Amino acid sequence: MSPFTPNPGAVAASRGWMLDVDGCLVSTARAGGAGGVPMPRAIELLDALYAAGHSVVICTNASEKTPADYAEHLRAAGLNVRDEDFATAGSAAAEYIAHHHPGARVLAVGAEGISAPLSGYGMELAEAGGPLADVVLVGAARGYSTELINAACLAVDAGALLYSTQASPWFHGGRGKSVAVSAVMASAIAWATGVQPHVLGKPSPALGETLRRQLGVPAEAITIVGDATAEIDLARNMGANAALVLSGATDAARLATLEGTARPDVALADVAELLDLLTPTISPSNTPVPSEGARS
């Protein structure tokens, strides 16, 4: 197998984009962009991609709130994000479960960021104290009741599938780090039951599956943009391109340690540099015609 060669040209030629939120589009101390400040030229980048007719999904591993709630936070900060173009680890997980486990009874161990999307896909939500769930999905919440944790552990111990929105123990948003509570809770259930959770957020192939459907362009024409190695892994799982920005979880020293397929196709200081890279291809005179199947 030949060594992996980064390909900045493929990034510049992309017409489908997954843009990470924290540490990428915004600098924030809270997952999902709440209270964040847009990164330099992030507003301009998003507007330019839309104007060029490209497909865009704004994606975060946050899962406490619904996609519409997170999108509203970003609009309040000046980013012209569309509700339908926002995906969370929670909404992607709900889509995956609905697609692969139709008719299953699902216990939502988290807040409305997972329960609302599950209900939206017509899934039956299990309740603590009721019949055991077929599937347990763990997402973020401000708090978890003892009854809910017990119901999750009993269901998984009896054979229910255990899914988590993410596996990374830490959240990085460009202003230090904080614990990723969904990963911690999923690990606690795994400790009690001996069953390891299947991750449905970044960098899982499950999320890649959802993103490909939503973006509607071939994988080789998609670039995953983020500040962490999880986004690089996601791109490789999808067969997409990876653009790493050094404005959040990854710095130049960490970048220097990445080898082979773990290296991004292009590494940039921030999304302002990404906009500079793309300007020759997304300027009005070079606007591509969207491919069949791409969203407007």
Domains of the chain: 8-89+202-286 (3.40.50.1000), 90-199 (3.40.50.1000)
pLDDT of residue 255: 93
Residue 292 pLDDT level (bands cut at 50, 70, 90):
very low
- Helical residues (DSSP H) of 137-204, grouped into ranges: 146-157, 181-193
Using one digit for the tens of pLDDT, what is the confidence trace for 200-227? 999 999 999 999 999 999 999 999 999 9
Alpha-carbon gap, residue 24 to 270, rounded angstroms: 7
Strands (E), the chain: 16-20, 26-27, 37-38, 55-60, 86-88, 105-109, 124-125, 135-138, 161-164, 170-172, 177-179, 198-199, 222-226, 241-245, 266-268
Using one digit for the tens of pLDDT, what is the confidence trace for 32-77? 566 678 999 999 999 999 999 999 999 999 999 999 999 999 999 9
Alpha-carbon gap, residue 143 to 279, rounded angstroms: 45
